[in-house]
Structure 1
Amino acid sequence: MPRRPSRRPLGQLEAEVLAALAGLGGSARTAELVERLDGEPAYTTVNTILHRLHEKGLVSRTRAGRHYHYRLAVDESELVAGRMRDHLRHASDPVSVLNRFVRTLSSEEARHLREMLEGPGDRG
C-alpha cells in the first residue's frame, strides 16, 4: 500500500499560502499559488484555504472570468507578528519559548534582532 504524504495542519497551510501570496507581490490566482507551494497541494485544497482566508478578511478577491484573483488584505509582517504574540501569550513559560526561538535564528537574523532591540524607533 503506497504511503500517503503527511498532511500539514490547516493553520500551517494557511500561513504558507499567505507567504506564497506575499512572495508573488501580494496578488495571484489559485493556480499560481499551487505552483509556488511545497508538497504539491491539490488545487481544490488551496482554493478552500483561500476561501477561508477570504472569510477571515486576510485576503480580498476579484472575479477574473471563471476564477478569482486573490490579493493580500493585511500586511504579512503584522500578521506573523500577531501570531507570534498569540503563541507567547498562551505559553506557560514565554521566556523559555523566546529563548528557544532566539537560539534558532541565523547569525544574520540575530544581528537584525540585536539592531532592532538596541536601536530607536520602529523599523518594520
Structure 2
Amino acid sequence: MARRPLGQLEAEVLAALAGLGGTASTAELVARLDGDPAYTTVNTILHRLHEKKLVTRVRTGRYYRYRLAVDESELVAGRMHDHLRHASDPAGVLSRFARSLGAEEARKLREFLDPPKDGGG
C-alpha cells in the first residue's frame, strides 16, 4: 500500500470530521478513512491538529472525542490560495484545476464567479 503524505492525511481527517458534523473518536475516524490507516497514525494526526487548534477535544472515559474547530471550506480555500500564491504559473494551475472539475462542480464555480443579476443593482 502506498503511503500518503502527512498533509494529505491531515486533510482527510479534517474532512471526515466535517462530514460527521459532530464529535468523533479516533476509532470512528479510522473507520471512515480510506486505505486503512493505523489507529496510532490517526491518533498522532489528531494530536497535531489539536496543537494547531484545528480541532477541539473532550475526554470521554479513557479516550478523547474530537470536533472540528474551524470552518472546513475556509481552511481548504486558504490552502488552495497558498498553493496558487507559490505557483510559478498561477494561471496554468487555475486552468488545469478548472478543466479537472466535474460538470456539477464547474456549474457551481460559474455560479460563484458570475452570480445572476437580480435587477436590484
**Structure 2 match to 1:118:** 114
Q: 5+ residue gaps in structure 2?
A: 117-121
Q: TM-score, normalised by structure 1?
A: 0.91
In structure 2, distance between residues paired with 1:8 and 1:105: 22
**Structure 2 match to 1:49:** 45
- Determine if the alignment matches structure 1 residue 85 to structure 2 residue 81: yes
Q: Deviations over 1:82-115 (max 9, x none)?
A: 0000000000010000000000000111011001
**Structure 2 match to 1:31:** 27
In structure 1, distance between residues paired with 2:21 and 2:101: 25
Q: What one-letter code is carried by the residue in structure 2 that aligns with 1:24?
A: L
Equivalences, count: 116
Deviation (angstroms), 1:25:
1.2
In structure 1, distance between residues paired with 2:68 and 2:115: 30
Q: What one-letter code is carried by the residue in structure 2 that aligns with 1:85?
A: H
Q: 5+ residue gaps in structure 1?
A: none
Deviation (angstroms), 1:26:
3.8
Q: What one-letter code is carried by the residue in structure 2 that aligns with 1:52?
A: R
Following TM superposition, the consecutive aligned residue runs of length 4 or more in structure 1 with deviations greater than 3 angstroms are none
SS in 1 for 2:24: strand
In structure 2, distance between residues paired with 1:24 and 1:40: 18
Q: Deviations over 1:43-65 (max 9, x none)?
A: 00000000000001100001111
**Seq. identity, %:** 79
